[in-house]
Chain A
Amino acid sequence: MGSQTPLLNIEKLHAGIDGVEILKGIDLKINEGEIHAIMGRNGSGKTTTANVVMGHPDYEVDSGKVTLSGTDLLNLEPWERARSGVFLSFQYPQSVPGLQVGNFLRKSVSSVLGEDFAKGSEFRDKLKSSIEELGIPRSFLSRYVNDGFSGGEKKRFEILQLMLLRPKLAILDETDSGLDIDGIKTVAAGIKASIKGTTSGALIITHYSRILEHVKPDKVHVLIGGEIVATGGYELAIELEEKGYDWLKNK
């Protein structure tokens, strides 16, 4: 495994916003088929990491490297990254009043995977089976994107997009927040189905071990002050839940 090109490779990444450095040298490698988790307090740089990999224009990259299967991502526009296979499930998905969910999904699949994937029965079948898996009613498709959605509906909708867009790399930014236990189970199943046993990978950003209990990540990283201070297996997540973050800080 050591010689293969990692799916996601982040090297010595320094980045920030409004002239303030938030990420202070991040290194992270995710191989195909792996699910990693990042845990950390608010303000530790989790969402910044997600936004920088997706290419949010407000964030500045000072130095470092981010590649997807060896391809440099940092020079690409966000939509080019999406078309190369990066997906971000947003912590706070934006609403677009008047844009119908069904149309939006079809257009997005067409943009990311190509027109052929958005046509005909294949798309319809995949859409139908995905909404069933996520427990989303059909009427949902004629609503407007995230407009008036509950917290849980927003998160399910993000996972629905994940399932339809079939990215190489899925980043899930606090997708479990605002979900009840059943929601977490459903979402976790959606993530697993999209990643495990495929050539894709995922990076799950979370505060809680519960979702990880269902997903069983290959690695858990702890982010403090813009640096990864510890990396371990699923058991690290449980330890963090019990002991908090301070013991790591003092290490």
Chain B
Amino acid sequence: MNLKKRVTIGSKINNLGDNMAINEEARDAVGDYKAGWHDPENSTIRFDFGLSEKVVRDISALKEEPEWMTEYRVKAYNQFKDRPMPSWGNSEVLQEIDFEKICYYLRSSDSTEKDWEDVPDDIRNTFDRLGIPEAEQKWLSGVTAQYESEAVYHSIREDLESQGVIFLDMDSGLKSYPELVKKWFCSVVPYTDNKFAALNTAVWSGGSFIYVPKGVTVEMPVQAYFRINAKNMGQFERTLIIADEGSSIHYVEGCTAPTYSTDSLHSAVVELVALPGSHIRYSTIQNWSANVYNLVTKRGIAHENATIEWVDGNIGSKLTMKYPAVILKGEGAHAEVISVAYSGKGQHQDAGAKIHHLASNTTSKILSKSISKNGGRGSYRGLVKVSPKAENCKLNVVCDALILDEDSRSDTYPTMEVSNPSARCEHEASVSKVSDDQIFYLMSRGHSEEEALAMIVNGFFEPFTKELPMEYAVELNQLMALEMEGSIG
């Protein structure tokens, strides 16, 4: 294998030779960016653009993976290749994705770092701007920061280690705990689930692997930051969290991405396994730049009396299609999905939730809030299913939309398939607009029109924000205030 130090300008790029801009971009990708927010990529390994079985095998070989993982990848690749694009959601925008223009693997640092001091300077610069070191001091009990395709920085606080908690990037997890990974990998989201789950399984890189032993409570939120930093760079992280019986964990991830001129694909898979009596909360805020396709499969299985909560905030991106799901497999299990979506100009957030009540006495709650502005489009798409054998289930769905101007749009696609008559179902939906009287009331208390709008918008998101660690809540409020700037008149 002669992949090391191979640079990015591959034949596929040259075939597009009539487009000088793309050539220049490709050259930029290995050199210094003159302006903007990019850090030099410093790629030690980068594959050509485009995908083939060879690329999939090469990725696996480069990572020195066990045979079974390579086979998984190849099967998933074939699945991806054979499967048509989803015909629902925003299929028009989905058709714009050019899989040939995406680079499927890039590693910017040779090894996974353990000590913050050892992380290369330019990478640390990027993290500084994202405020990660400070965040770590306050909130982190362990950090894995994904830079491009692989985790470069990884620290586990001693108290976690001493409790037997495994917290690794997924690649290291596979190396160190192959049996554990083999047991649960693809057990929640099989590669046959959907086209993008297949793609992720074929080319996954990075993500987190967490195992919480029986009865252990991880008290501080565990955090990871993700970020796309290479043009046309698909990010395919894979996260697997296993909470053993009676354990509890809160995992927090935040994503921000700078603006790029070409389209980017983010297609992650997150699998949660909540064994009997355990509790997993998975909180996300994503703030993708307006050219990112964010197509993520998130699903958890909750066994007897286990709880899974998805707290999911989606801001930005060109198109997000994301429906955090919970399968309530064991009796007495509980699921909650609390999500917000903000769509600005040229953006479509197609988000929601999926809950399947397989067992009796299971309960679920969905709260979805969306804001659209400047022609943005927010859609709630939800599915709640109750199986015929599941007795006495309770489900509650609330979706609220706030539309900030005439050009923006909000749709709701709620589906309930209830096959057991003992189920108690509640569903509420509302669409509202900001009224002049509301703005005037706030202005009469000394707040400018923009401040007033930000207060209303942040208030609308409050049921979500209050679920976040304080630092994230503050960040989200500030972000929304920024989004409201220049929106008046």
List residues of chain A with CB under 8 Å of any chain B CB: 54-58, 77-79, 81-83, 87-88, 90, 92-100, 104, 107-108, 111-112, 144-145, 161, 165
Contact = CB atoms under 8 A, between A and B. Distances in A.
B437 interface: yes
| B contact patch SS | helix
Interface stretch (B96-104, B129-137, B458-466): B458-466
A94 B441 contact: yes
A97 B460 contact: yes
B440 A98 contact: no
Nearest to B441: A94
Nearest to B440: A56
15 contacts: A57-B436, A57-B440, A77-B448, A78-B440, A78-B444, A79-B451, A90-B444, A92-B437, A94-B435, A96-B455, A96-B459, A104-B445, A107-B447, A108-B445, A111-B446
Which range holds the interface residue count of chain B?
20 to 34
Given A144-B462, A161-B445, A165-B446, 9 more contacts: A57-B440, A79-B446, A83-B446, A93-B441, A94-B442, A96-B438, A99-B462, A107-B447, A112-B446
Interface string B450-478: 01000110111111000000000000000
Interface in B423-446: 435-438, 440-446
A95 B441 CA distance: 9
A144 B441 CA distance: 14
Contact of A79 (B437, B443, B455, B463): B443
A82 B446 contact: yes
Contacts of A81: 444
A87 B441 CA distance: 11
Contacts of A77: 443, 448-449
A104 B446 CA distance: 11
Most chain A CB atoms below 10 A, which of B442, B449, B461, B463: B442
Interface string B16-57: 000000000000000000000000000000000000000000
A162 to B, nearest CB: 11
Nearest to A113: B446
A82 B458 contact: no
Nearest 5 CB-CB pairs, A to B? A98-B459, A98-B462, A111-B446, A112-B446, A99-B459
Given A58-B436, A79-B448, A111-B447, A97 B441 contact: no
Nearest to A90: B441
Contacts of B442: 94, 96
A165 B447 CA distance: 13
A57 B462 CA distance: 28
Nearest to A78: B443
| A contact patch SS | mixed
Most chain B CB atoms below 10 A, which of A55, A90, A99: A99
B170 to A, nearest CB: 37
Nearest to B432: A97
Interface of B: 435-438, 440-449, 451, 455-456, 458-463
Contacts of B443: 55, 77-79, 82
A56 B441 CA distance: 9
A110 to B, nearest CB: 8
A98 B460 contact: yes
A54 B444 CA distance: 7
Nearest to A93: B441
A98 B448 contact: no
Contacts of A87: 444
Contacts of B440: 54, 56-57, 78, 94
Contacts of B455: 96, 99, 104, 107
Contacts of A83: 446
A17 B435 CA distance: 17
Nearest to B455: A99
A92 B443 CA distance: 15
B441 A98 contact: no
A80 to B, nearest CB: 9
Most chain A CB atoms below 10 A, which of B435, B443, B444, B445: B444
Given A58-B436, A104-B455, A98 B461 contact: yes
A187 B271 CA distance: 57
B445 to A, nearest CB: 4
A99 B437 CA distance: 16
Contact of A112 (B436, B445, B458): B445
A100 B460 CA distance: 11
Given A57-B436, A57-B440, A98 B458 contact: yes
Contacts of B449: 77, 79
Contacts of B438: 94-96
A55 B462 CA distance: 29
B394 to A, nearest CB: 24
A82 B445 CA distance: 6
A111 B437 CA distance: 19
Given A94-B435, A94-B437, A88 B444 contact: yes
Nearest to A111: B446
Contact of A82 (B435, B444, B459, B462): B444
A93 B463 CA distance: 22
Nearest to A96: B459
A96 B458 CA distance: 10
A145 B441 CA distance: 11
Contacts of A108: 445-447
A108 B456 CA distance: 14
B452 to A, nearest CB: 8
Most chain B CB atoms below 10 A, which of A79, A82, A95: A79
Contacts of A57: 436, 440
Nearest to B463: A98
Contacts of A165: 445-446
Nearest to A92: B437
A82 B442 CA distance: 10
Nearest to A171: B444
Most chain A CB atoms below 10 A, which of B445, B451, B463: B445
B311 to A, nearest CB: 16
A144 B444 contact: no
A137 B461 CA distance: 26
Contacts of B463: 98
Contacts of B447: 79, 107-108, 111
Contacts of A95: 438
Contacts of A94: 435, 437-438, 440-442
Contacts of B462: 97-100, 144
Nearest to A112: B446
Contacts of A161: 445
A6 B367 CA distance: 54
A243 to B, nearest CB: 35
A81 B443 CA distance: 9
Contacts of A90: 441, 444
